[in-house]
Structure 1
């Protein structure tokens, strides 16, 4: 279980995250919602320790994440995969090499520098690409792919870390509606097939309602909602979105497409 105890992040006088406490069981798909600047990205970056908390604690299955340093911190970041809006692929490298980078924390540096990947590692990477419909693009340069394809490669790379937790920071913000659905389906697949806990920052309430088991709403860094998508009232939506609430509530709730998941391919 992931537990946040009074988590805070201050930038001078500005409180980006202000005393957030949450308990998230393994295997949940949690949507973190709210306007831009509400503290969503700061919250995820603290969980991964890309940003240092000003106060509070992060616990995962009894491990005090806020106390980790050095090698232990690197191990935590391998268990806690980040997916960003901008993909962060190496454009000049082929897709398979980008996915194999998800194993960097597990192999000696000389092996990664000279691309000395084992047959098992290559097989796992190809299986991850196949899982997200990208197997046919393994030999393509990453910068030749569309945005949606690049984001699916980023998810496959995250799966190579064998993570306990995926943190997705606005993963569909730069995508068209069709690719938005494809990428959200891929995250849902990682969650349901592998039982990986997913925290996904989303601006769109209809996407959050369609894909997430639970919604956590932030406004001005504070937790103002924590519950099932069906429990999000118009009053809470106004707290979260202000003048944008009418537009958000008028949008029909998105329906995640049902899937049947075979036995997991990636360890």
Structure 2
């Protein structure tokens, strides 16, 4: 279980995250929602220890993650894989090599520098790519892929880390609807098939409701909602999103008025 106790992060005189406390069960799929600047990315970066908390603790199965240093911290980052909005692939390298980078914590440094990957590592990487329909692109340069394909490669790279947790920071923010669905399906598959806990920052409330077992809402760095999608009322949405609430809440599509009949003379002029 992942436990967050009174987690706070200050930047200058501003609290990006303030006093957040959570308990995340293993195998859950949690959506972190809120407007831009609410503290979602900072929260995930603290969980991975890319950003250190100003106050509070992070515990995982009884281990104090906030106290880890050196190799123990590197091992934690391997167990708590991060997926970024910008994909963070090495564009000039092929897809297979990018995925194998997820094995860096599992092999000696000299082997990874010389790209002396074992057959077992290669088989694991290819299996991860195949599971997301990307096996046929293993030899392609990463920068020749579409955005959705690159993000699925990033998820495959996270998967070969053999993580307990995947943290996805706005993984679909720059994708079209089709690739958004493919990437969210890939995260859901990793969650269901392997029992990996997923925390995913999302701006779209529709996506969060469709894919997540639980929603955590942040506003100005504070936790203001913790529940299921159907528990999220319009009042809470307004607290989370302010003036943007109407854009993220479900709304019936506008009615399209029936076209008015053309005047007889206009219809005749058009040959109707």
Q: Please report the TM-score for the alignment, with normalisation by the length of structure 2.
A: 0.92
| Runs of at least 4 residues off by over 2 Å | none
Which residue of structure 2 aligns with residue 67 of structure 1?
Answer: 67
SS in 2 for 1:250: coil
Which residue of structure 2 aligns with residue 137 of structure 1?
Answer: 137
Name the CA distance, whole Å, in 2 between partners of 1:119 and 1:102: 15
Max Rg structure: 2
Name the CA distance, whole Å, in 2 between partners of 1:47 and 1:5: 11
Give 1:1-267 correspondences, 5 Å limit.
1-251=1-251
- Cα root mean square deviation, aligned: 0.7
| Gap regions ≥5 residues in structure 2 | 253-272
Name the CA distance, whole Å, in 1 between partners of 2:59 and 2:208: 25
Name the CA distance, whole Å, in 1 between partners of 2:247 and 2:67: 42
Name the CA distance, whole Å, in 2 between partners of 1:2 and 1:66: 12
Number of aligned positions between the proteins: 252
Q: What is the Cα deviation at residue 247 of structure 1? A: 1.8
| Gap regions ≥5 residues in structure 1 | 253-267
SS in 1 for 2:180: helix
Name the CA distance, whole Å, in 1 between partners of 2:207 and 2:64: 32
* Contact kept in structure 1, 2:206 and 2:250, CA below 8 Å: no
Q: What is the Cα deviation at residue 225 of structure 1? A: 0.1
* Contact kept in structure 2, 1:8 and 1:53, CA below 8 Å: yes
Name the CA distance, whole Å, in 2 between partners of 1:156 and 1:40: 23
SS in 1 for 2:249: helix
